[in-house]
A and B are shown apart, each in its own frame.
Chain A
Amino acid sequence: MADASQTRKDVDLGFCSELLSPSELFAARSRSHKIPVRGQKDFIPDGSKQQQERLERSLEEQWTLLSEERVERLGNLVKAVWIPKEGVVELQSPAGKFWQTMGFSENGKQFLLPEEALYLMECGNVQVFYHELPLSIQEGYERFLSRDTLSLQQYQVFGHLKRLGYVVTRFDPSSRIPSQYEQQLNLPQVSDRPGRRLKRKRSLSPASSQTDGQEGQVGEKMEVEQCQMEDQKPDSTPEPVCTHSRVEEEEKKEEEEVEGPAVRDPAEMETTADCRSWWVEKKADPELRSMPCSGPRWDFHSIPFPDLGCRGRPPSLAPPDPALLPGLLSVGRCDVAPWLRELNKRKEHLSHRERERLRDRARYRRDVNEDREVRRCRNWADYRQLLEKRSQCRHRDRPAHLWEGKVTPLVQPGQYTSYGDLMNRTGVIQPLNLLEAVSRLGQGSEEFNIRYNVYQPDTVADYKKTSPGKPYSRMCVCSFDSPVPDLRTLKLLACQSGDVPVTFAVVDHGDISFYSFKSFQLPTDLPH
């Protein structure tokens, strides 16, 4: 058991690490460690008592499992400190066995990446402190998983693979893409620069790459906060922000930015952590974020139009300011209510077909303003840009060679003499190699990038962090809601990965399935 001084220190630290009596310890030891079995899913509630009982039982099991206290040996717990600025966890006491496959050292200190720290916390190997207080596992989730470090899905994939025994390391996208010639020669990659590689690992997260530019980081975070505040606003009440206040806001922001980092550092950490950024699986849309958050130009709440159609309008309008009226007229209040009966005086003659079309439109056409993106538009320019973007998206799905240009027969008579040539010509989809002709594809998409290198469990024994060798696979994490990657993305990823296969880990609310794309050759029926 832990020695005396250690015990005292832990007691000082307080509530979290309480010591157990022998009987309690024994009880904890002899508890069953089985995870409840996830059986067949019942998809439709049949209303039977049996089903309901089954449901309640498994819920119960889940709850007891979750609420169970974790009992760990103090001596086994490695102490570490969370450094939010850099998005890493620094070890305070000597690392355990996990050091063989996880963590990295820099300037003589040992660090863990957030996903590693969180996984080890869950396994009961590491206790992480922040502001001198130990973090619970839930707090670990909240603090370690953020837009700047990694998403919940990425962590779920990491944890899943780790539990299965794989060695998982972050993939470094800055590693050089081997040229085709090198690929043909099958030269070993990057292994000649091990030290740098490990350091470079961290530069993956956007925030940590900015650590030297403090102010920039704070500014960006504040912008994020602002946007989130904007998000939380109820959509139905457009904020009465006129251009003045926007300027003021910006000035304020600038002021804060100047005195920002030193003064409000801890407080700021609190607020960002409270946002639970891992929870709202937000794919940071740079375009939306960069948009200044302000309402439309006219604030129609303070410009009173006598609108008869608006429900919940005041029954009468206050007399307008005589300065607004010609000839300095002064008029009394304007009573709106009696005019409600004076609407639709001009009868509309609709044919049967028009009536039907109207009914259909009322039923199927959605209010354009139900769309969040439309609600974000502040003026016509924004709105038209949005519509343009959407129509382009719609057209992009059409292959150009089928929709653009003149329509002509594919083959002219007498053009080809052999079946092979003819088949080549009429084959609308050309065969291609995933690794060929990538250079002209440009930048990859935001959604798909390789996240992890995965090494097989049986290689753990002779795995070395300094020379990891060729991974078994590279992992790309995506959500079940995201689209299937297109050919361009596939080619870019394949090119980045080189001769290591790329696997897609698709996360569906915690269930992870793995997919990969393989090239194949279509059989040719005719001799060329």
Chain B
Amino acid sequence: MRLCGLAVLPWNKHIFVMAADGPEKTGEEGAGGAGSSTGGGVRFELEKETELRFEVEAGERVQLELLSGLAEVFGSELNRNKKYTFGPGSKIAVFTWQGCTVSLTGKTEVAYVSRDTPMLLYLNTHAALEQMRQQAERDNERGPRVMVVGPTDVGKSTVCRLLLSYAVRLGRRPTLVELDVGQSGVSVPGTVSALCIERPADVEEGFSVQAPLVYHFGSTTPGTNIKLYNKLTSCLAEVFSQRCEVNRRASVGGCIINTCGWVKGSGYQALVHCASAFEVDVVLVLDQERLYNELKRDLPHFVRVVLLPKSGGVVERSKACRRDTRDEKIREYFYGFRGASFYPHAFDVRFSDVRIYKIGAPSIPDSCLPLGMSQDDTQLKLVPVTPGRDLTHHVLSVSCAEDEGTGPEGGAGRRGILESPVCGFIVVTSVDTQAQVMTVLSPAPRPLPRHTLLIMDIRFIDLK
């Protein structure tokens, strides 16, 4: 049990467990033996319905090549003889339904073949969802709306990606709704977003992010402002329903909702709220039976709650690791994938040209509130922020809300800001209080498209 202490490297633990199992042992060894060094790379022969899992060492890159057979990475098929490069810290699983040969070049922290994968269960889940889409198409109704829930690090995002890729490979147009504010797969952290999926995820980059619908949340845990979180969920649901009304294909495709790993207390309530807002038909619960039972109890009978196992390959990420991923995501927003494709602009913005708000006033103890006031009002309140030195390195969302007549006291305008999507993000790189200007990093040259900025708790230091 000594190995259990190495929580950072659960794959080691996995191997340890496998080795302890008698019959599995030979399988693992056989599979491991398949990895033989030839030329620049290590060859792996995969039997049908097995999976090669590998993790790239920090500061290294690994190239993956499919030599023969068919294989897929999280639902996206690999092209034969094409080299796929994975950056440091990547955790990849190459799965094959038919059997294949792949080669890995570069330093992997760990690489092994496992035959214990729940892919068949996930595939059956996809088949059931596809059956629902066919029925929806036939009856001229809306397709399945699926919510994927579970604690942190059980592979929610991966399951979402898998199901979306499979659906889009069959010609569907599903929508990904990203409610995980900590590890958003679509936009920068601290946002909730929806993305229409039109092609399978790129093996290296993930889903192509074109014209996503993004709302500002401002923090990496929904707990900081659960009222706002629920409100944004409702906003997204409303927009998605509107889209379904005008776009038949989107309606049949349905949506797959990725949620936060916070499944206790208000986090759980937020899940129930989300199910109701999106009128979900299916809830996929990963790994946790407690959550499954509670949802079965609290959701009406016409919602199908399904318990699925998590994949043994899912890695528990440390706090630092999550922070790095977040940073990487923001960097990707400004500089493009692997920092190679975009060139952001830096320019000065005068304080007088913009209005900066924070959503949610600090909460006051109930006993200090005036009679008849409730805490709800403060959580959705827009608080004007006076620009100062402490603004440095904060990420700001540029709100799509119209600028006209939105003074801090304009009641209608304030509502609009909360509920309007974000058109882009900037990072404050430095503040000059004397000259009353701040320098910002922006994806587009000046001027800013809108002048209402919302401040996030998230900071980004542009080091590279």
Task: State the A residues within 8 Å of B (CB).
Answer: 238, 242-244, 296-298, 300, 303-310, 317, 320-321, 324-327, 329, 331, 334, 336, 339, 342-346, 348, 350, 354, 357-358, 361, 365-369, 374-375, 377-381, 383-384, 406-407
Within 8 Å CB of A238, what residues of B? Answer: 301-302
Q: A309-B307, A354-B265, A369-B301 are in contact. Are A327 and B123 (CB under 8 A)?
A: no
Within 8 Å CB of B153, what residues of A? Answer: 346
**Interface residues of A, dominant DSSP:** loop
Give Cα A46–Cα B139 distance, bound, in whole angstroms: 64
Choose among B124, B282, B308 the residue with the greatest number of A CB atoms under 10 Å from its CB.
B124
Within 8 Å CB of B53, what residues of A? Answer: none
Q: Which of B367-415 contact A (CB under 8 A)?
A: 371-372
Assuming A305-B304, A342-B309, A348-B288, what are 7 further A-B pairs, CB within 8 angstroms?
A: A244-B139, A296-B301, A308-B307, A309-B292, A325-B166, A331-B120, A380-B279
Q: Which of B175-218 contact A (CB under 8 A)?
A: none
Give Cα A367–Cα B300 distance, bound, in whole angstroms: 9
Min distance, Cβ A29 to any Cβ of chain B, angstroms: 62
- B461 contacts the other chain (Cβ, under 8 Å)? no
Min distance, Cβ A298 to any Cβ of chain B, angstroms: 6
Give Cα A378–Cα B302 distance, bound, in whole angstroms: 7
- B417 contacts the other chain (Cβ, under 8 Å)? no
Give Cα A304–Cα B118 distance, bound, in whole angstroms: 16
Interface size on B, residues (CB 8 A): 63
Within 8 Å CB of A383, what residues of B? Answer: 276, 300, 302
Within 8 Å CB of B371, what residues of A? Answer: 407
Mask of B106-147 contacts with A, CB within 8 angstroms, 1/0:
000000000000101101111110111011000101001000
**Interface residues of B, dominant DSSP:** mixed
- B290 contacts the other chain (Cβ, under 8 Å)? yes
User: Would you call A331 and B139 a contact (CB within 8 A)?
Assistant: no
> Which single residue of chain B is at the shortest CB-CB distance from A300?
B304
Min distance, Cβ A443 to any Cβ of chain B, angstroms: 32
Within 8 Å CB of B97, what residues of A? Answer: 329, 331
Min distance, Cβ A326 to any Cβ of chain B, angstroms: 4
Give Cα A336–Cα B293 distance, bound, in whole angstroms: 19
Give Cα A129–Cα B131 distance, bound, in whole angstroms: 59
Within 8 Å CB of B306, what residues of A? Answer: 305-307, 309
Give Cα A93–Cα B299 distance, bound, in whole angstroms: 63
User: Would you call B302 and A309 a contact (CB within 8 A)?
Assistant: no
Mask of B276-308 contacts with A, CB within 8 angstroms, 1/0:
100101100101111011101111111011111
User: Would you call B132 and A320 a contact (CB within 8 A)?
Assistant: no
Q: A324-B131, A346-B153 are in contact. Are A336 and B301 (CB under 8 A)?
A: no
User: Would you call B288 and A374 a contact (CB within 8 A)?
Assistant: no
User: Would you call A325 and B307 a contact (CB within 8 A)?
Assistant: no
11 contacts between A and B (CB under 8 A): A297-B281, A305-B282, A305-B304, A310-B307, A331-B49, A342-B309, A344-B289, A345-B287, A346-B150, A346-B153, A380-B279
- B312 contacts the other chain (Cβ, under 8 Å)? yes
Q: A296-B301, A380-B279 are in contact. Are A309 and B124 (CB under 8 A)?
A: no
